[in-house]
Amino acid sequence: MVKNPRKKSVWKIKGLRKRYMMTTMLVIFLVVVVAVIAYALAMSGSIYLNVREGLYAKAKTATDFFSNYITRTSAEYYDSAYRYIDSFDDINKLELQFINTSGRIVLSSHSMTAGSMPGTTDIHSALDTGKISYWEGYSDTTGEHLMSVAAPMTYSNGETIGIMRYVTSLKPADRLVRTNTWVAIAIGAVVMLIVAVISMIFLRSVVEPVREITAAAKQISGGSYGIQIGNHYRDEMGDMVKAINEMSLKISQSEKAQTEFISSVSHELRTPLTAITGWGETLIYDENLDEESRRGVNIILKEARRLTKMVEELLEFTRMQDGRFTLNAQPCDIGAELEDSIFAYRELLRQEDMTIEYEPCDEELPLINGDPARLRQVFYNIYDNAAKYARDGKRITVSTRTDGENVFLYFRDYGPGIPEDELERVKLKFYKGSSKERGSGIGLAVCDEIIKYHGGDLTLSNAEGGGTLVTIRIPVEPTFE
């Protein structure tokens, strides 16, 4: 069964979460913001409208009452106004003003404003139109938020004698608007939080299975065929897990059959190849062999050795696949092994009209815990590839360095390099790329596995200026797999 990959914070915004937060959550946030703003505007409009309608009703009732008692004598009008102000019950909430036709306050329940000229639009409108008008704004002296309603006072013949005006502070209304607005904002925030929590719980139920399935798919693509994902889902996710498990199992069965076939065929080929090579080496020393036949025997020997090498690589790979591959680990002077491999291969490269140059690092390479024979196998394979694919470059350079914890080996040829779209796949088994050179496509895969068994890694890249660069990193104290 596949274990969950290393857990990461479910709140970290990335991948599906990021897309969800940038789309759905953003839309929900905007809807909530618009709703809060719309509510605040509607609520504030309603509150101020109620205040205005209250003042309007009070002013209309009062002016209707006065119109029944106002005569053409202004003295009686002002006497009635005095008595009305003296009996005014809402003095703590409202200011009652009587204003003459010039716009000056002649009587007020707050004596400090008497004699002043407010000059607000409600007064002018009431005088001009003869209808009740209102005004909302800020006091020039105190800066207080106010609302007023001005109602014209008329004689029975319709002549305007003055204005009755109610003025109120909007501080309580403003406070109520602010309180309701903050309550709306708080409710919106709570709604967003609830939606976010529910969304993250939902996303977790989607993202975690996807992450587990992705990790399993990567393991399968990396060669861990046959692994199974725990299927505890009862929806489309469960169907996908089931399909991946079936695919993994079938690939494993196919891979096993392929490995067994390769192993069987390779073993069968070893015996006739050994006989061909042995008899070829015997015949090559026969003095009675003419030149033409000797050339033919040389070709037979060369091809038999090439096939033998290919068979050995295939057998090596099948041992790795079924767990029979082992390392003879011991303290190893990797610098000495590298120099020996260069000395041994230099003559073979000379026959290919190529040279090999060694550039050791200034400091002594530390000992590693490794298998000398397996490491030389890797070195020889790299030289062989360079001779095969980069012979036009005419030379190979080898260099080393260490950082105390790792040993780095660099092998560079000066051939055409590797196409960029093939770099990631050249180490895959049986992959030969666009090259027309003959081979099994298994050598680099074997080398990569050997270095991994040493706890290191083998990478290929195109060198600056042309050619291929093979980099091997081996830790000084590796952990063998």
Residue 40, pLDDT > 50, answer yes
Report which listed range, 154-158, 220-224, 462-466, is most confident: 462-466
pLDDT (0 to 100) of residue 11? 41
Residue 232, pLDDT > 80, answer no
3-state secondary structure (DSSP) of residue 133: strand
Q: In what order do the strands lie in the sheet with 145-154?
A: 105-108, 94-99, 160-169, 145-154, 133-138
Residue 369, domain extent: 330-475
3-state secondary structure (DSSP) of residue 136: strand
Q: What is the mean pLDDT of residues 315-326?
A: 67
Higher pLDDT: 375 or 446? It is 375
Among 294, 321, 348, identify where a domain stops.
321
Among 291, 321, 351, identify where a domain stops.
321
Weakest mean pLDDT among 67-71, 188-192, 367-371, 424-428: 67-71
pLDDT (0 to 100) of residue 419? 84
pLDDT (0 to 100) of residue 38? 92
Q: 15-28: per-residue pLDDT in tens?
A: 666 777 677 778 88
3-state secondary structure (DSSP) of residue 169: strand
Among 275, 297, 321, identify where a domain stops.
321
Number of structural domains found in the chain = 2
Higher pLDDT: 403 or 78? It is 403
- Token pair recorded at residue 470: 């093979």
Can you name the residues that pair with 164 across neighbouring β-strands? 98, 151
Q: What are phi and psi for residue 65, nearest 5 degrees?
A: -65, -45
Place of tokens 């033919």: 296
In a domain, 395, yes or no: yes
Judgement on whether residues 250 and 354 belong to the same structural domain of the protein: no
pLDDT (0 to 100) of residue 238? 78
- Token pair recorded at residue 190: 């709570």
pLDDT band of 473, cuts 50, 70, 90: very high
Judgement on whether residues 379 and 418 belong to the same structural domain of the protein: yes
User: Which residues of 126-256 form beta strands (DSSP E)?
Assistant: 133-138, 145-154, 160-169
pLDDT (0 to 100) of residue 371? 87
pLDDT (0 to 100) of residue 440? 54
pLDDT (0 to 100) of residue 156? 66
Query: In terms of C-beta density within 10 A (0-12 exposed, 13-18 middle, 19 or more buried), how is residue 294 classed?
Result: middle
Q: Which DSSP letter does residue 224 get?
A: -
Angle of CA points 320, 383, 450, to nearest 5°: 20
- pTM (two decimals): 0.47
Q: What is the mean pLDDT of residues 173-181?
A: 91
Weakest mean pLDDT among 236-240, 289-293, 430-434, 446-450: 430-434
Query: In terms of C-beta density within 10 A (0-12 exposed, 13-18 middle, 19 or more buried), how is residue 309 classed?
Result: middle
Residue 216, pLDDT > 70, answer yes
Judgement on whether residues 463 and 340 belong to the same structural domain of the protein: yes
pLDDT (0 to 100) of residue 433? 59
Judgement on whether residues 316 and 337 belong to the same structural domain of the protein: no
Weakest mean pLDDT among 106-115, 207-216, 429-438: 429-438
User: What mean pLDDT is reported for the chain?
Assistant: 80
160 close to 154: Cβ distance less than 8 angstroms: yes
In a domain, 166, yes or no: no
Judgement on whether residues 314 and 284 belong to the same structural domain of the protein: yes
pLDDT (0 to 100) of residue 297? 82
In a domain, 115, yes or no: no
pLDDT band of 2, cuts 50, 70, 90: very low
Judgement on whether residues 347 and 453 belong to the same structural domain of the protein: yes
User: Which stretches of 107-235 are DSSP H helices?
Assistant: 121-129, 171-221
Place of tokens 């479910």: 10
Q: Which DSSP letter does residue 420 get?
A: G
Select from 227, 426, 428 the least CA-distant residue to 317: 428
Round to whole Å and give the CA distance between 212 and 219.
11
Judgement on whether residues 373 and 456 belong to the same structural domain of the protein: yes
C-beta neighbour count of 257 within 10 angstroms: 10
Higher pLDDT: 360 or 430? It is 360
Judgement on whether residues 391 and 264 belong to the same structural domain of the protein: no
pLDDT (0 to 100) of residue 258? 65
How many residues can be counted in the chain? 481
pLDDT band of 136, cuts 50, 70, 90: very high
In a domain, 131, yes or no: no
54 close to 47: Cβ distance less than 8 angstroms: no
Judgement on whether residues 356 and 471 belong to the same structural domain of the protein: yes
Q: What is the mean pLDDT of residues 206-218?
A: 78
Judgement on whether residues 344 and 445 belong to the same structural domain of the protein: yes
| Structural element, H or E, at residue 457 | strand 457-462
Round to whole Å and give the CA distance between 65 and 154.
11
In a domain, 279, yes or no: yes
The CATH number covering residue 297 comes to: 1.10.287.130
In a domain, 43, yes or no: no
Judgement on whether residues 396 and 336 belong to the same structural domain of the protein: yes
Per-residue buried b or exposed e for 434-446, using 16+ beta carbons within 10 Å of the residue's own CB = ebeeebbbbbbbb
The CATH number covering residue 459 comes to: 3.30.565.10
pLDDT (0 to 100) of residue 411? 94
Percent of the chain with pLDDT over 90: 19
Judgement on whether residues 471 and 375 belong to the same structural domain of the protein: yes
342 close to 358: Cβ distance less than 8 angstroms: yes
Q: What is the mean pLDDT of residues 112-134?
A: 86
Q: Which residues, at least 6 apart from 55, have a Cβ–Cβ distance to it below 8 Å?
A: 94, 134, 147, 148, 149, 166, 168
